[in-house]
Structure 1
Amino acid sequence: MQTQHAVAWLDHCEAKVFFFDREGFESVELSATLTHHQTHNKAGTVDGKRAPENQAFYRNIVLALQSAKEWLILGPGSAKDELAKHVRAHFPQLENRIIGVKTADHPTEAQIVKYARLFFRAADRMLSGMRLD
């Protein structure tokens, strides 16, 4: 679906990408290929070392998002910020497509799309007021 807007919700295990317009939406689901184990250690792993970022997972999310011109990135933890960092480092030509990075726990698909529609409606109004036509 070729659209203006897309939203990606992700954590370290899965990602859901939604392309939407006024009438409907399409979604793509991606999962991390690395096995994720829940730990209760502040550093993130049982041995106390932070797990490496899953670059292939983030790359697949970026490739899924590419057909949209503007992106909103959502998620409950640090994965959303790591995705934005991945875009800046590996796809700098796409960095300006990221319009927002926001925290969102575990919403339903309908809640994600509703939030994204409201977000982009507000962003579009704000950006159109800044344009010098």
Structure 2
Amino acid sequence: MSHGRAIVWMDSKEAHVFRFNAEDVDAERIKAHNPFRQVHHKAGVIGAGHGHLDRDFFDHIIDALRGVQEWLLVGPSNAKNELLTHLDAHVPWLKAQMVGVESMDHPTDGELLDHARRVFKSVDRMRPNSPPPPA
């Protein structure tokens, strides 16, 4: 069954990817291999004091989104911005399918899916002259 839409909730340790349509939901949890650790900047040390997420983590998220027409990115941390930078550099077509980026704390799976359905319903109302992609 085709899942035309998705929501990704991510932080520096894991990502929850929900691909869905009107009748069905496919959920996947992806763990970061090398989760971002807080790096404290010391005076006289080269670098900004920020760690970076691993590329494999981003690639697993990208693989989980293959086949969707639209998706939403949410989460509590700066990890979202690092994923966006990775998408710009490596898979700009996937970023073009994104309908938005939002800050969101730690919702339950049900709250996350409800939020996604509300957002996509709003997106559909904003383009009344074009048929919506498969729900």
Q: TM-score range by the shorter chain?
A: 0.7 to 0.9
Distance 1:84 1:71 in 2: 13
Decide which moves more: 63-72 or 16-25: 16-25
Deviations 1:61-119 (A, max 9, x none): 01111121101001001111221221111102222111111111000000000000000
Alignment of 1:1-133 (within 5 A): 1-37=1-37, 44-46=38-40, 48=42, 49-129=49-129, 131=130
Taking structure 2 as the reference length, what is the TM-score of the superposition? 0.83
Partner SS, residue 74 of structure 2: strand
Deviation at 1:22, TM superposition (A): 2.2
Gaps of 5+ in 1: 38-43
Runs of 4 or more, structure 1, over 4 Å off, are none
Distance 1:96 1:123 in 2: 15
Which one has the bigger helix percentage? 1
Q: CA RMSD in A?
A: 1.7
Deviation at 1:24, TM superposition (A): 3.3
% identical equivalent positions: 33
Gaps of 5+ in 2: 43-48, 131-135
Q: Which residue of 2 aligns with 1:40?
A: none
Taking structure 1 as the reference length, what is the TM-score of the superposition? 0.84
Residue-pair matches, total: 124
